[in-house]
Amino acid sequence: SIVGKGIAHDSAARHVAGEAAYIDDMPELPGTLHAAFVLAPVAHGRLLGIDASEALAMPGVAGIWSAKDIPGHNEVGPILHGETLFAEDIVDYEGRVVAAVAASNFETAYRAAKRVKLNIEKLEPVLDIEEAHHKKSYVLPAQQVVEGDVDTALSGAPHVISGKLRMGGQDHFYLETHIAYAIPGENGEMLVHSSTQHPTEVQHHVALVLGVHANAVECQVRRMGGGFGGKESQPTIIACAAALIAAQTGKPCKMRLKRRDDMVATGKRHDYVVNWKAGVDNTGRIVGLDIEYLARAGNLPDLTGPVITRTLTHSDNSYFIPNARFVGHACKTNTVSNTAFRGFGGPQGIIAIECIIDTIARELKLEPNNVRAINYYGDETGDMTPYGQKVEDNRLVEVTEAVLASADWSRRRAEIDAHNATSPVIRRGLAMMPIKFGISFNLTSLNQAGALVHVYLDGSIFLNHGGTEMGQGLFVKVAQVVAEVFQVELDMVRISSTATGKVPNTSATAASTGSDLNGMAAFKAATAIKARMTRVAAEHFDVEEDVIVYREGRVHAGNESISFGELAKVSWAKRVQLSEAGHYATPKIHWDGKTMKGRPFFYFSYGAAVAEVAIDTLTGETRCLRADILQDVGSPLNPAIDLGQIEGAFVQGMGWVTCEELWWDKAGKLRTVGPSTYKIPGSRDVPPEFNVRILDNMPNQEETVFRSKAIGEPPLMLGISVWLAIRDAIASIHGGVPYLDSPATPENVLRSVGEAKANRTA
């Protein structure tokens, strides 16, 4: 069977050989223009004028485009109206796109953009999340998930424990920065190659900006050099600018962002401030939980609404909370608009509840894992989430017990405690955490996909679907599904670029649903073609249809057989359709955005991790020494790809909570704009002992494609175990509750160590 086999990524060899083509590798057409953005130099101001005379005088410069040059709508927002491509009268963050300059080459375009003078009257910026909250400066109304009666639960609880947690954002740092190449055609047509997770959104916004119908625009994507959510909504900005210039000059236009511009101008993970209060009984069981999330939306909503929804629906993580009030505020600040990032609000909710559990355990002098276990969803507690979805596929005990055993928890706990008793400088810490992550877009309408399958007369198969490839291995998985249906070799299935002209009206490849949705759409298309071919085969061999068997590229009827290609030819001769468009819509899900109740997720993915760290209490440096992960992926479509996803996601999550720090100065200027100042985990930050396993023999209880489960995002949150282990190491100093923000940079660790030393009781 091809499904379930650990097969290399279809482009693995080409990735490492440099032969996999990205948009910037495409041969450029003659006359291609290159574009660069003019970005606002202040966080907040009134735009009074643009003086491009110096830029336009430079040799090779073709022109400048700003809001007034847009023939259609100045509109690039993913959900709401009023999110503009080019600033109109107000610039509302440092890096806000104001205009685009085009020139005959890349460097000239960049130099010219820097010479454009913006006349801006400075206004007072709001830069701090809490300041925005105090000023009631929001981009959207607050959302809340409420269950039971929190106030009564808190007032009757034996212990009420409260706290605050600040967590940072995260830059996507995909290797390929944003890029688009727009090629004008005849009669108003536009072909846009875009590095986007959401070709349909690019198509629709290019049409809106150009003032043409969507049918005039095609968006194509062969692959991205990483997306991580950063290319879910943001690519419209780049693609629309390139298309506008292409349309108005009649020349192809390429726009590629330098790393600095990419980091300054496009959105990131939302940083949050969290205030919480928990009512707890003497055993550590949570009886009531009140959490207020202040999320930094930035200058406009973008995807902040659904991101906050996911935070609120992951504030329970794996724990039954009988009385809950989770409130999320979308704080409007004069900083770049934040956007989707792997986990999509889930990590923020999960780090909050894990911090809460850890704090409860240390306050009450209980073992943190016992406090976790006693609060798990299950018969002893309950199975209803605060948002009204029942937990029907609970695998928490399985993953936890198995990971504690394989990580040799008890022995290592004792060993680490013994080490800490005699090691004043280097402290070690150990932590375990579970995850439960809801799979489906929490906006129900997005949970649909299409695929297009053709069988050619030599038996080769052409596959197209609405999902995009960003390195996560979606294309090989969907190809495996199709090869499995027809029982042919994988190399008989041709993987092709995502294109809005082939499969229309798609959702972003996001929410980890790529293979669930597109795999199922392709399965349906292939199965429909196969049913027609089987009828032909039955006629051909003069047998009943149920005698026909597809095996190893051939079609058998008892002792007789013909090749799959021969059957294709016979079918064609009988004038049978060998092509099909499949469509799939996830069943069982619904969500009421007003009451914030429903069954937003088709199913949950479970996982657990144990992390061990060492911290240097004199420098604040930390290191993850070992991590053990067990992840539920149902029956994997491709376990080799899934292992890679788990490893990558864990390390990316670890980066979020340890070394990746975004830093804005007092004027609101982002100062971490490249690898010299923004530290993502490198190969030597990967835990030297890294044991990653997939939960065996646990098919999805729901009818997903071959009973698989999504994998892209869930294990990112397991990286939070590293942060919990750092807390554990700090707590060893005084035996109390450490105060630690995320990321646990050396500065933050040192501050927390200093407080622990000051409060040392011994």
**Interface residue list for ligand MOS (CB under 6 A):** 197, 229, 232, 340-342, 344, 510-511, 713
240, 253, 303, 416: which one binds ligand LUZ (CB under 6 A): 303
CA atoms of 49 and 634, how far apart (whole Å): 57
> According to CB under 6 A, which one of 515, 732, 745, 752 is a site residue for ligand MTE?
515
CB closer to ligand MOS out of 277 and 342 = 342
Our finding on whether 715 is near ligand MTE (CB under 6 A) is no
Question: DSSP string of 572-634?
Answer: HHTT---EEEEEEE-SS-EEETTTTEEE--SEEEEEEEEEEEEEETTT--EEEEEEEEEE--B
Taking a C-beta distance cutoff of 8 angstroms, is the pair 518, 478 a contact? yes
Q: How far is the CB of 451 from ligand MTE (least distance, A)?
A: 14
Residues found in the chain = 762
C-beta of 741: minimal distance to ligand MOS in Å? 23
Give the residue among 442, 757, 384, 437 at the shortest CA–CA distance from 586. 442
Which residue among the candidates 121, 660, 713, 755 is catalytic per the annotation? Answer: 713
Which listed residue (513, 586, 631, 732) binds ligand MTE by CB under 6 A? 513
AA identity, residue 592? D
**Distance of alpha carbon 14 from alpha carbon 20, whole angstroms:** 5
By beta-carbon proximity to ligand MOS, the closer residue of 100 and 340 is 340
Name the nearest CA neighbour of 142 among 325, 12, 20: 325
- Under the binding rule (CB under 6 A), the answer on residue 443 touching ligand LUZ is yes
State the nearest-atom distance from the C-beta of 198 to ligand MTE, in Å: 11
Find the binder of ligand MTE among 315, 444, 472, 658 (CB under 6 A): 472
Number of residues that bind ligand LUZ (CB under 6 A): 13
| The amino acid at 669 | K
645 binds ligand MTE (CB under 6 A): yes
472 contacts which partner out of ligand MTE, ligand MOS, ligand LUZ, none, CB within 5 to 8 A by kind? ligand MTE
d(CA 691, CA 403): 10
448 binds ligand MTE (CB under 6 A): no
> How many whole angstroms separate alpha carbon 403 and alpha carbon 433?
10
Count residues binding ligand MTE (CB under 6 A): 20
The DSSP symbol for 15 reads: H
If one asks whether residue 65 binds ligand MTE (CB under 6 A), the answer comes out as no
Terminal CA-CA length for the chain: 62
Q: Please confirm, yes or no, whether 713 is among the known catalytic residues.
A: yes
Per CB under 6 A, the segment of 252-260, 512-520, 682-690, 733-741 that binds ligand MTE is: 512-520
Residues 340-359 that bind ligand LUZ (CB under 6 A): 340, 344
Nearer to ligand LUZ, 318 or 509 (CB): 509
Which residue bears the tokens 């032909």?
Answer: 536
Q: Which of 186, 191, 178, 272 is nearest to 224 (CA)?
A: 178
339 lies in the binding site for ligand MTE (CB under 6 A): no
Interatomic CA distance for residues 310 and 300, integer angstroms: 18
Q: In the complex, what is the shortest distance from the CB of residue 94 to ligand LUZ, in angstroms, rounded to a whole number?
A: 26
Q: Look-up: residue for tokens 């290399």?
A: 8
- Nearest CA to 648 among 629, 635, 661? 629
Out of ligand MTE, ligand LUZ, ligand MOS, none, which partner does residue 310 contact, by CB within 5 to 8 A per kind?
Answer: ligand LUZ
Return the number of the residue (276 or 341) whose C-beta is nearest ligand LUZ: 341
Cβ closest to ligand MOS, residue 368 vs residue 712: 712
The CA distance from 486 to 522, in Å, is: 12
Q: Which is nearer to ligand LUZ, 231 or 372 (CB)?
A: 231
Q: Which is nearer to ligand MTE, 474 or 615 (CB)?
A: 474
**Cα dist. 488→256, 476, 493, 552 in Å?**
40, 14, 8, 6
Least gap, CB of 478 to ligand MTE (angstroms): 9
What's the closest the beta carbon of residue 201 comes to ligand MTE, in angstroms? 15
Longest Cα–Cα distance of the chain, Å, equals 88
User: Which residue lies nearer to ligand MOS by CB, 86 or 293?
Assistant: 293
Q: Which is nearer to ligand LUZ, 373 or 510 (CB)?
A: 510
| Contact characters 340-379, ligand MTE, x per CB under 6 A | --x-------------------------------------
Residue 664 Rama label (left phi>0; alpha psi -120 to 50; beta): beta
SS3 153: helix
Q: How many CB atoms lie within 10 A of CB 135?
A: 12
Region of 140-148, 439-447, 604-612, 736-744 interacting with ligand LUZ (CB under 6 A): 439-447
Contact 129, 271 (CB under 8 A): yes
Distance, CA of 643 to CA of 478 (rounded, Å) = 17
Among 510, 724, 730, 744, binds ligand LUZ (CB under 6 A): 510
CB of 311 to ligand MOS, least distance (A): 13
Residue 191, contacted partner among ligand MOS, ligand MTE, ligand LUZ, none, CB below 5-8 A by kind: none
Tokens of 358: 């850890």
Residue type, 99: A
The reply on whether position 228 binds ligand MTE by CB under 6 A is: yes
Question: Residue 515 touches which of ligand LUZ, ligand MOS, ligand MTE, none (CB < 5 to 8 A by kind)?
Answer: ligand MTE
Taking the C-alpha atoms of residue 340 and residue 352, their distance in angstroms, rounded to an integer, is 18
Burial letters 440-470, b for 16+ CB under 10 A, else e: bbbbbebbbbbbbbbbbeebbbbbbbbbbbb
- d(C-alpha 292, C-alpha 325), whole Å: 8
Site string for ligand LUZ, 631-650 (x = CB under 6 A): --------------------
Give CA–CA dist 265/267, Å, rounded: 7
For residue 326, the one-letter residue type is F
Q: Which is nearer to ligand LUZ, 70 or 303 (CB)?
A: 303
Question: Looking at the annotation, which residues are catalytic?
Answer: 713
Residues that bind ligand MTE (CB under 6 A): 226-229, 342, 470-472, 474, 509-515, 645, 648, 712-713
Residues that bind ligand LUZ (CB under 6 A): 232, 303, 306, 310, 340, 344, 441-443, 446, 508, 510-511
